[in-house]
Structure formats: structure tokens, C-alpha cells
Amino acid sequence: MPENNIISIKDLYNIFKFKTTEEIDVSEKISEQIIGQDRALDIIKKAAKQRRHVLLIGDPGTGKSMLAQALAEILSEDKDQVRNLEDMLVFPNPNDEYQPIIRTVPMGTGKKIVEEIRKRILEQTKMFQYFYIILLFISAFTPMYFYYAGNYIMAGATFIGFMILMASLSFSFQVMQKQIMKNVPKLLVDNSNRTSVPFVDATGAFEGMLFGDVLHDPFQSGGLETPAHQRVIAGAIHKANKGVLFIDEIATLRPEVQIELLSVLQEKKYPIFGRSERSAGAMVRTTPAPTDFVLVAAGNLETLQKLHPAFRSRIRGYGYEVFMNSEILFTEEIANKFAQFVAQEIKKAGNIPSFTKEAVIEVIKEAQRRSGRKNYLTLRLRDLGGLVRLAGDIAKSKGKEYVEPEDVMEAKEKALTIEEQLSKYYIERRKEYQIIKTEGYEVGRVNGLAVIGSRLYYSGLVLPVEAEVVPGKGSREIIATGNLGKIAKEAIVNVSTVVKKKFGEDLKKYKVHVQFLQTYEGVEGDSASITVATAIISALKNWPVRQDLAMTGSLSIRGEVLPIGGVIAKIEAAIESKLKEVIVPEGNYNDIPEDLFDKIKITPVKTIDEVIEIAIANKI
């Protein structure tokens, strides 16, 4: 079977040749651990070669931070770039103490310079140390001499006098030593013993951490003050010099901070100064420090709206923008990479058992389910990695040598998202109070299907819809309740056109009431269109509808049933509710995994006529 052909879960039993993940080799290179982001990885390689900035946009957990680390890894393959790294020192400025001088030296020499200067300065204080020791001996023995000579008054007087003298000398020595040590530079960035270029993750960093800062000095006079250059703190932009700076959730940076970062990217150098106006550090501003790094900024789709246009323009003009894949075609090549992913997660965890082949297949089955389509696997691998670790913990707690499929299935039950937990709760409560009916026939009542949650995290839900049609005043009036969103309301209005076209009934003669039962969580979208149409037609014609059936699908004004999202989650909700059959758009039929067909009857439809025929059955 060609590696690029779409496969099914059943094919994996023949494709996988390993018995456990112990047999799978895991590469040490980060770039070879990235799965499903080939285009992004190719751009990262180009960015490394040309030292271009990169903006990564995509769903959480799709590998943005790994791509940033891969960029640093690729840069480090050029040993000249590693050898050319620099240490960063800050020296006192003899002409202006509030403008310390930043200097760079070859990697590994910064510590030596600091130690040599400190050693030289300490040599200058040795004579004073000897003098201090001599006085210490005199102050100790003189009172003893007078004491044994019987002159107790002189003994006490010399003891007190020498103690005062020693305290004064001690204080003077400390002040003198502090003044002398003012000339010792501070090592800001130490790259000694590095074997790779710096990779600095500045995600969530506040301004001082990102751009550097100057600490406050509570003692600003009297010889106790800390020299300005000793209070300078390097920022992430300086530590990343000649390496990679990674900032995830870049939109959390305020616009003015983004502009400041833009200046850093343009100038490739930036001074360090005090960030607080109330601090003594506000008076200090160093000479510009080098900031020649490759920026990898990351975020989700909403990030683009919050990026300053000038900042984004800089990346677009001098780098790349990459949209991350959130799912990938289910092929033999990708299946093998997912098996590699499971082995990688086991190695990273370090304390969980290996997975059997069957357990790996169960993980891939879950990746298929989370994608929402049979022929795809999700690439939100961080969440999937959590499932792998939980399954490993479960197997370990049972004393197993390997993780087996039942451990993965147990982990799936324990690792339900909040949305999935809410869905189960709603289904149980609605069945308990007979809001969801699973048998018999009723006029004007249909079991619809919906999803609860966001685009990233959602779960299926059975959504009963009721309709009543009563004589009106000659003008069409459709009243819909149930916390409906704008699109849902528009879809209900469109249903009247379908009813008139298909059944010759003009709803202008009627007053139509549609209720989505107990939808406190709200309803949005048009995937309940066929449900609403069936309920209205049932109420209009007095045709009873099967209650062991649920349906989902968008309805065009021509009566065509169009594809919808979340079909797998919706079918799972119908299964959870113990319904016998579910109607889905024909366009979604190939999105449904094979195992769901064993749990419920799934019927694809093209038009509203087919929906009515199945829902009404032989009751007309």
C-alpha cells in the first residue's frame, strides 16, 4: 500500500510491525520529532539559514515551541555560530556613573576578566588587612597587660577605646573595599561551556524580564550605595543574542511593548535602563547592548487582531508567517509517525511503561476522533500526549509491564474535557426528567444534535426541539426561543421557504412557535435546520415523528441537506442517549469512523424529503 494512500484503523494491525514501542527508535534531534508540520519545518530551516524572524499561528499544542527549539538546533549545527558566541559585561563609566558601559568579549572569557580584575583589586587591600590584623592583636593584649599589672581602670579604658577603634576601622575597611570593588565589572551574559546557540523562552515575561532592568538601591549615599553597573540585569533579548528568542502568546504584549520590541529587531542593540520611575534605577541607562537574535513569535488566530501593524509588517518584510496544521490526512506514513510520537512521549515521561501495538492503535483512534473526520488525525499533540501519560500512569498503578488498550480507554474516560463532562451531565439530567425521549412517536417534537464548547474543545449534545403551528393574522410570524444566536435565528426564518416550496403551505397564514428545550448553554449555527424544519412540518401536517431518532444537518432554501461540523461528537451524544438511529448529511458520511457504525444506525440524506420520510416512517 503506497504511503500516501488514506488508510483506516483496521489497516494499522497489518501496517505496524512492532509489538511494543520499545522497538521504535526515538531521534534525539528535535527537528525529527516534529509530526505533521512539514511545511512549517521547511520554513524554519530556511529561516535558520538566512536568520529570518518567524510568526507561527495555529491552535495550542500543535508544536510551535518545538519548531522554535528546532530553529535553535539547526543554527547550532553550524559550529562557527557557536564559537562566535559572546559573553556580555557591564563596566562602570568613569565619566558618568549613571551610564554604565556594555562590552562583549569572546565566549568563555567574561568570567576570566571579572576574576582577574577582582584579584588585582584585592591585592591593593592586602596592606590594610595586615594593619587591621596587627591592631586586632594590640587591642586584645593591651587590656590584658594592664589587667595583670593591677591597673584595672586603664585595662577597662583601653578595652573600650580599642573596641571603638576596631569598629571604626572595620566600618572604614568595608566602605573602602566597597569603593574599590566599584571598579569590578559585572558579567551580564555568560555563554561559557555552551555547545549550542542560546534558546530563550520569554513567554509571559514582563517588561523587565524581556528588556532588562536596573535594580533599586535603598542606600544611595554614605559609601553604602551599590554601584549602578552592579544593579544592571540583562533581559531575555540580551541573553538570546546570536541565538533564538521565543515568545508564545505574543498578543499578550501591550502595543507599546510590541513597538519597543520592533525597535530591538531593527537596531539589533538596545540599552538597559530602570523600568520603574520610583526606583533609583530609573536614573541609570547603559550604552546599547547587542540583541542580534532570531525571533520566533507564536499565537492563535485571534493573535493577528492584536498584533501591532508595524510589528507584524517587520516580520512579514524580513521573515515568514506560518499557519500551523491542526489536522493531517490519515496515511501509512503519518500512522508510523504517530507511533513514533507515542514512543517520544514515553521517553520524555521517563517513568511509564511502553505501549503495546494495540494500545498505540487506540491512541491513534482517539486522534482520529478528535479531528472530527475519519480520514484525518488531529495534530494537537500536547493534549494527546496527556492521554499517553495518563494511560501510562494507570498501567503502572496496576503493576503492568506494558500499557494495553483498556488502559488507554480508561484514560479517555478520566481525561474528559470540561465540555465532555458537561455533555454527559446534561444528557443524564435530561433523560432523568424525560426531556430526551428515546421511544415512541410525537407530533412537533424532534431530537436534534448540537455541540457544546468552543472550536477547540467541544462535545456532542442531544437537543430536543418542539414546534407548534396555530392560525395567524395573515402575516408570517415565527417565534423561536432557547437562547438562540444570530445564525440560528436566520436559519429558522429560511425554513419557511422550504416548507412553502416542498409542501405548498404558506406560513403567512400561521403563527409558528419553535422551542429549543432547556438550552441554557445557548444555540448558534445552522446545523439544527433540518431538525427545526421537521418539527414545523410535523406540527403543520400533524405527522408524528420517531423519538428513537436524532438528526443534524444544515438546510438550504432549496431543501438540500448540507454538511455540518462536529459530526463525530454529535453521533457519540446520540449513542450516549441510547437512541437507535441518527440522520446525517451525506457530505459528512465519509467523516464517520468505522467503529461508530457498530453502535448506532447512521443514515445519510441529501434532501429534506428523505429526512421526513425516515423521521415520519409509516405514520402518515
pLDDT tens-digit readout, 301-336: 888 899 999 999 999 888 999 999 999 999 999 999
361 burial (CB, 10 Å; 0-12 / 13-18 / 19+) is buried
pLDDT tens-digit readout, 241-274: 999 999 999 999 999 999 999 999 999 999 999 8
471 burial (CB, 10 Å; 0-12 / 13-18 / 19+) is exposed
Residue 150 pLDDT greater than 90, yes or no: no
Residue 67 pLDDT greater than 90, yes or no: yes
pLDDT band at 520 (very low <50, low <70, confident <90, very high): low
Least confident window among 78-87, 311-320, 524-533? 524-533
Residue 221 pLDDT greater than 60, yes or no: no
Q: Are 372 and 569 in contact (CB under 8 A)?
A: yes
> What does the pLDDT read at residue 176?
62
pLDDT band at 482 (very low <50, low <70, confident <90, very high): low
pLDDT band at 523 (very low <50, low <70, confident <90, very high): low
Q: Which backbone phi and psi does 562 adopt, to 5 degrees? A: -105, 155
Cell numbers representing residue 172 in the block = 572604614
pLDDT band at 181 (very low <50, low <70, confident <90, very high): low
Compare 478 and 223 and report the one with higher pLDDT: 478
Q: Which residues 6+ apart lie within 8 Å of 543 measured at CB?
A: 443, 537, 612, 616, 619, 620
pLDDT tens-digit readout, 389-404: 999 999 999 999 999 9
pLDDT tens-digit readout, 568-579: 989 999 998 899
> What does the pLDDT read at residue 22?
94
Residue 3 pLDDT greater than 60, yes or no: no
Which segment, 139-148, 173-182, 211-220, is predicted with the most confidence on average?
Answer: 211-220
Residue 378 pLDDT greater than 70, yes or no: yes
Least confident window among 52-66, 135-149, 576-590? 135-149
Phi-psi region of 355 (alpha: psi -120 to 50; beta: other; left: phi over 0): beta
CB atoms within 10 A of CB 28: 8
| Average pLDDT value over all residues in the chain | 86
pLDDT band at 179 (very low <50, low <70, confident <90, very high): low
> What does the pLDDT read at residue 68?
96
Residue 126 pLDDT greater than 90, yes or no: no
Give the catalytic positions in this structure.
Answer: 527, 570
> What is the torsion angle, in degrees rounded to the nearest 10, for the CA atoms of residue 192, residue 195, residue 198 and residue 204?
-100
Cell numbers representing residue 323 in the block = 499557519
pLDDT band at 409 (very low <50, low <70, confident <90, very high): very high
How many whole angstroms separate alpha carbon 289 and alpha carbon 292? Answer: 10
Cell numbers representing residue 174 in the block = 568595608
> What does the pLDDT read at residue 125?
65
Residue 598 pLDDT greater than 80, yes or no: yes
